[in-house]
Structures are given as C-alpha cells and as structure tokens.
Amino acid sequence: MLTNKRIVIIGGSSGIGLETARLTLEKGAEVIIASRSEKKLKEAKDSLQGEVTIFTLDVTDEIQVKNFFEKIGQIDHLVITAAETSSGLFLETEVDVARQLFNNKFWGQYLCVKYGAPHLTKGGSITLFSGIVAYKAMVGSAVLGSVNAAVASLGQTLALELAPIRVNVISPGIIDTPSRSKMSDEARNQFYEGMASKLPVEKVGKAKDVASGVYYLIKNHFVTGTVLHIDGGHILI
C-alpha cells in the first residue's frame, strides 16, 4: 500500500499517467497530477477517486518546472509520462520539429528530475519514460528513437548519481492511449490490429498494463537503474 505517500505524476491527465494516478490512489497515495491543459486535468480529476490535486504545468518551461516543485514541497515518488511525440522520415523532418520533440520529451523529463529530485524523500523513486523505438528501429522514428534512447541513458546514470533515490525507466511498446487521438478511428484500429497480429501476446497494450509496471517500480526497493520493457514482446520480433 502507498498510504501516507505523496506521488507526483507529470502527464497524469491522460493515458498511462492517468491510469497510474488511478492505481496509486487505489493503493492509498496522495496524488498530484500536472500537465498543460486545465480542461484535461479537471476531467481527469473528475474521473478519479481519492486525494488528488491538479496543477497546470508545461515541462518545456524551466521556470514553471522550478516553481512547481518549490510549491509542492516534499514528495515520495516522481513519475514523468509527459510527452507529445511525432514521427516522420528523417530527410523530410524539419530540424525545428526534431528539436521540439527533444524539447518536450527529453528536456521535459530532464528539467523535472533536475528540479524535482531535491524534493524527494530518501526512500523515494523516479520513473522516467522511454519507448520501444529506442530498441527496435522503425522507419519514421529516427528522432523519437534518439529521444527515447537518451532518456534511458539519462535514467541509468541518474540511478548512480541520485542514489539512494531509485531511478528507473519504462519502455512501453504500442499502448492504446489518447496519444493517437489525431488518427482517424479507422487508421488507428488498422494500426492496432496489424501490430497485434505481429506481437507474441497477439494484442496491443492498455494504459493499465503500464501503470502496474510503474507501481512495481515504486514499490520494489531493490530495483534501480533498470529499463522495464512493457511491450508484449515487441522487442523480440
């Protein structure tokens, strides 16, 4: 159980972050969720039960990140699922678009750890998010793959530097979340069906599958510096 534990989930208004909020609340934690959209945060809060606080925060804004952690004070666990990702062929991707991706997913997590770590209790943990395209090259994912690889490397080094705070990284495979809401229903279903037919587990993942991985990393005091692959065997095919 996570009674009397304060957990911050940045990106907690949607997908994996929201399911992590739901699970850790069920386990008795006090949960703070943060992301850019107040509307999404309010909807998320309405869908949750328990002690939840919401904060608007853009992780690409260093001052906002610094002020956020100063405002919330001491915490036990930090989970960062915040990301807005995109794909595209390397030669056809504008350099600015590539930089934006790093800015959001890599530098966002970097800033959250930089300003969040000093507020963590000694037995605390940090969970960062990488992703399958760091480990399985895919056409159109040169930039996102590089971002994800950078996050994984950052997490492993920080497990040494920030010890005894534990730092771990999750690498999700294809998970059905609102991150693909811009695709048409037909295109998204086709993508998921095609992927499911190739995966050893014969299905794509759900946000809950990854949330249970976050819970494991928060709870297991002997796990640090690991990259937990929650990908239905995607890395093997």
Ligand X SMILES: NC(=O)c1ccc[n+]([C@@H]2O[C@H](COP(=O)([O-])OP(=O)(O)OC[C@H]3O[C@@H](n4cnc5c(N)ncnc54)[C@H](OP(=O)(O)O)[C@@H]3O)[C@@H](O)[C@H]2O)c1
Choice from 85, 86, 87, 100 touching ligand X (CB under 6 A): 85
40 binds ligand X (CB under 6 A): yes
Residues sharing a CB contact under 8 Å with residue 156, sequence separation 6 or more, in sequence order: 167, 169, 225, 227
83 binds ligand X (CB under 6 A): yes
108 binds ligand X (CB under 6 A): yes
- In the complex, minimum distance from the CB of residue 38 to ligand X, in angstroms, rounded to a whole number: 8
20 binds ligand X (CB under 6 A): no
175 binds ligand X (CB under 6 A): yes
232 binds ligand X (CB under 6 A): no
Choice from 7, 48, 120, 132 touching ligand X (CB under 6 A): 132
Tell me the β-bridge partners of 47.
Answer: none
Choice from 28, 37, 157, 193 touching ligand X (CB under 6 A): 37
Distance, in Å, from the CA atom of 199 to the CA atom of 185, rounded to the nearest integer, reads 21
Choice from 2, 5, 7, 15 touching ligand X (CB under 6 A): 15
Residue pair 20/2 in contact (Cβ under 8 Å)? The answer is: no
For ligand X, the nearest residue by Cβ is 15
Give the residue among 65, 85, 71 at the shortest CA–CA distance from 10: 65
- Binding-site size, ligand X (CB under 6 A): 31
Beta strands in 52-204 (DSSP E): 52-56, 75-80, 120-129, 166-172, 175-176
Residue pair 169/226 in contact (Cβ under 8 Å)? The answer is: yes
